[in-house]
Every structure is written in structure tokens, then in C-alpha cells.
Structure 1
Amino acid sequence: MHKSVNSKHRQERDETLGRVIGSNLLSLLKIFLACFVLVYLTINFAVRPIHVSGQSMFPTIEEGDFALSNAFSAKFQEIERGDIVIAYENKQMHRMIIKRVIGLPGDRISCKDDKVYVNDKALDEPYLDNEWANGIRDTVDAFTEDFTEVCLQEDEYWLMGDNRINSRDSRDFGPFKRSQIKGKDALVIFPFHKIHIPK
């Protein structure tokens, strides 16, 4: 009789332990799913982080900078010429790059004699009037190499880096679709001593 009671208690204890473990695992799964959904919504509808690799936006944004971009604006607001954006390099690699919008849907883009033309008018680019760009112009023929006219179709954007001599952009990849643009504007938050909003 005593042995039967002990066996019953042991069985009940094992069942209780099993329920506790199962309940804890279920709670952990719920927390994991909630975190996953929160991260997904944040990245796709709030902010898009990027760690800058390369010098294509120097000196506006430097290699090693960590920035946050506005994913909501990229998805729901107009993309304008001069905007700094984060985009997928292409749909296969899913590598994020940070560039500046030069051409909008329907534009005709070309470059001649170190001047970018949009619809036959020279584009004003104050972000290229800096010590770095002007120093390069003193040593080479052109800061922005010539390229023949490109006609953008509906839903196509022409993106280029501010450091034109060291940037792989639409001149290499061709136009970008709106769906490839995942962030608009940027806030550099690291290194901390360089926190700023690039223009």
C-alpha cells in the first residue's frame, strides 16, 4: 500500500514537472515570436539600420559609421531628388547600400564635363562642393566621369554616391526600383562624437 502511494506521488510529481516545463517552453516560444514580429515591424515600418562599408558617400557619410534610416518614409512618402536612401543592391544579394537620389521616374540622366544633367539641365549639387571633391578635381580630369543619357522608366530611380570616383551605383547596377529603396534619410548614431543628420 505504501509503495503504491509513493508511486502515485512520483507520477503526479512527474506530470506536474512536465506541465511546468511545457508551460515554460510555450512562454519562451511566445516571447520569441513577439520579439521576431517586433523586430520585423520595426525594420520594415520604422527604422532601417545600416553599418556603412566603403567610401562611396565620403565625406558626407564615412566608412564605419552606423546609421538609422526612416523605413516608414521610404515606404509611404515621396522619394525626392537629393534624398539619401538605403537600398538593396539587387534582389538576389540583398546587400544594403547607402546612396543619394539623382534621378526620378521619367527623368533623362547624363553626365558631361564633370556635370550631371537632368532633362538637359545641369544639376545643382552643393553636397559635392567640399574640400574632398575639389581636391580630387585638382588631380584628375573629372570627379564624375561622363556617361551617356539614360532614360528612367516608371518606378525607376538613379542613385549615386557622393564620392563619385569611388562609388558603385546606378552607373554600374542600372536604375533602382522603388521596392529596392528601404530607408530614406539617415541619422548617424555611431561613432558617438559624430552624431549628425547628413545632408
Structure 2
Amino acid sequence: MDTMEPAAKDVNTEVERIETPLESLASICSVLAIGLFVMTFIFQNFEIPSASMVKTLLIGDHVLVDRIALAPPTKWAPFTFYRDVRRGDVIVFLKPGEPDLFLVKRAIGLPGDRIHLRNGIVYLNGVAQDEPQAGKPMADGNLQHEYNPYRDDFPSIPPEGMDVTASWQYELPSHIENGDLVVPPGRIFAMGDNRTESLDSRYWGFVPRENIVGRPMFVYWSFETPADQINKQSIGERIAFMGHILIHIFDQTRWSRTLHVIR
């Protein structure tokens, strides 16, 4: 009995070998590299800064974006699921003409589609669309949503002071046929769900297919954020808001929106 105890002790000594600092560093670096790859090429998080997608997305929603499904297919990853953009998809893309600005809108028209709006209602290929999530003029008697002829009876000639880009004012007439806007090949017509407050394809044109980076899947965190926070970009203002978040992390988090699926 006594002669077996040292042998068991020797085995335990080998099992309990201490990891060296270099091995620990290598393990940490491996985890960081995998995490960086996942968050750069597969998933990415975005914060919603404006009200253009209310009711679907609120200011202060933090969403996880799938960067794979709508990406161009690649030969090196044939096992990955890819698909093209579908009407009604909520998409994240780089704004045309501003390659550093990400926007979130809904894909309304695909190549070949004919689109027009009447009193804020979207007509797609001649059929009025039932969009319960879309804000319309004079909704609930709110005067803030009063009728606007360019915005609500699109396409039409943009009047002065409508925030329409110069390039779109020039290009727009070439895509109008019999009162409809015809979406050209390789382009997407996108609009915000909050139609009366959204600067979208009506104001700056089509989204090139290659500008689309993914689609938001769900809200992983939502914090009550002032509508004017998007305009507060100085270092002091950002630090002040970060402090506000730390103080109110529990009472101003919208817990009911956690894991809210985006449709």
C-alpha cells in the first residue's frame, strides 16, 4: 500500500504543470485574433443614432449585423450561406458619396421595379404596399407629419431647400417613366420606416449593391438616448454622455428590447 502512494503523487505533479507567461500570452492573442476576425468579417455591432427607422429601430438601439448573408459569394468559403437582397430587408450600407457613413434603411425596390408614392403610400409595380411599420403624413393628426408634395408624392421635381443632393437632382429625371421611378441594374431603392423623417433614396438616390455590408439581426442592448445626441460630437460631450450611461445603465436601459429580432 505504501509503495503505491509516491507513484500517484508523481502523476499529479506532472498534471499540475504551471503555464508559462509566454504560453498565456499566446492563448490570449489567439482568442483576440479569433474575436477580431468574427467582429470584422462575420458580425459587427452598430448603434442607431437617428429616428429614421422608428418604429422598427429606436435611437439608442445597439444591433448585431450579419455581414455574411448579403456579401458577394466567395470561393474560399463555399460552406457559407449567401443570398441576394430581398424586398423588405432591413440593410446596413455605406451612403453613396459618403464612404465613411453607415446607414440603416429598408430595401423597397430591386432592379427593374417601378416605384411611386401617393400621399405617402408606396406603390410597387402598380400595387399599393401594406406597410404597418411605415410612418405616413398626418399620422395620428400630428402636424409634424404634414403633407409634403416631394416627399409624399415621389417622384417629382424637388423644390428648393429639400435637402436633395445636386447629383440626384440631375440624375432623377432619367429614371422616371410614366410617373414611376425605375430601379436600374445593380441598384437598390431604400427608405426609412419613419417616412416623414427619413433622408433616404428619395433625397440622394439609389444604393449600389456593392455598398451593402449586411443586415441587422437583433437588438442586443438599447439605451434611452436623446434625439440630439447625434449632433454632440466633441470629446467633452462624448465623455459626458458616457458618464451619463454609467450612472443610468440600469434605469434607462430598455430591457424589453433586449434580443428584439429585427424584421
TM-score using structure 2 length: 0.56
Residues matched between the structures, number: 170
Q: 2: distance between equivalents of 1:177 and 1:112?
A: 25
Q: Match for 1:68 among 64, 73, 86?
A: 64
Q: 1: distance between equivalents of 2:209 and 2:219?
A: 23
Contact 2:138–2:146 (CA under 8 A) maintained in structure 1:
no
Task: Give the 3-state SS of the residue equivalent to 1:164 in structure 2.
Answer: coil
Q: What displacement does 1:117 show?
A: 1.1
Q: What displacement does 1:112 show?
A: 1.4
Matches within 5 A, 1:1-199: 31=29, 35=32, 39-40=36-37, 42-44=39-41, 46-75=42-71, 76-90=82-96, 92-128=98-134, 134-135=139-140, 140-141=146-147, 145-148=152-155, 149-191=180-222, 193=255, 194-195=257-258, 196-199=260-263
- Residue of structure 2 in register with 1:3 after alignment: none
Higher helix share: 1
TM-score using structure 1 length: 0.73
Q: 2: distance between equivalents of 1:118 and 1:135?
A: 25
Higher strand share: 1
Q: What displacement does 1:156 show?
A: 0.7
Q: 2: distance between equivalents of 1:136 and 1:85?
A: 30
Contact 2:44–2:66 (CA under 8 A) maintained in structure 1:
yes
Task: Give the 3-state SS of the residue equivalent to 2:116 in structure 1.
Answer: strand
Task: Give the 3-state SS of the residue equivalent to 2:140 in structure 1.
Answer: helix
Residues 91 and 36 from structure 1, CA distance in 2 versus in 1: closer, same or farther, beyond 3 angstroms? farther
Q: What displacement does 1:41 show?
A: 5.2
Contact 1:69–1:185 (CA under 8 A) maintained in structure 2:
yes
Q: What displacement does 1:126 show?
A: 2.6
- Gap regions ≥5 residues in structure 2: 1-21, 72-81, 156-179, 223-253
Residues 91 and 83 from structure 1, CA distance in 2 versus in 1: closer, same or farther, beyond 3 angstroms? same
- Gap regions ≥5 residues in structure 1: 1-23
Contact 1:84–1:186 (CA under 8 A) maintained in structure 2:
no
Q: 1: distance between equivalents of 2:69 and 2:182?
A: 26
**RMSD between aligned alpha carbons?**
2.9
Q: What displacement does 1:141 show?
A: 3.1
Q: What displacement does 1:51 show?
A: 0.7
Q: 1: distance between equivalents of 2:108 and 2:68?
A: 21
